[in-house]
Amino acid sequence: MGKIDLSYLENMSGGDNTMIVEMIELFLQETPQHLNNLKEADQNALWNKVASEAHKIKPIMLYVGLSDLNLVCKKIEDNAKGDQDSELSKELIKQLESGYNDVAGDLETKIEELR
* pLDDT tens column, 42-86: 999 999 999 999 999 999 999 899 999 999 999 999 999 999 999
Helix 86-114 / helix 67-81 crossing angle, nearest 10 deg: 150
Q: How many angstroms separate the CA atoms of 60 and 62, rounded?
A: 5
In the chain, % helix, strand, coil (3-state, to 5) comes to: 85, 0, 15
What's the pTM? 0.91
CB 68, CB 91: distance < 8 Å: no
For residue 63, how many other CB atoms are within 10 A of its CB?
18
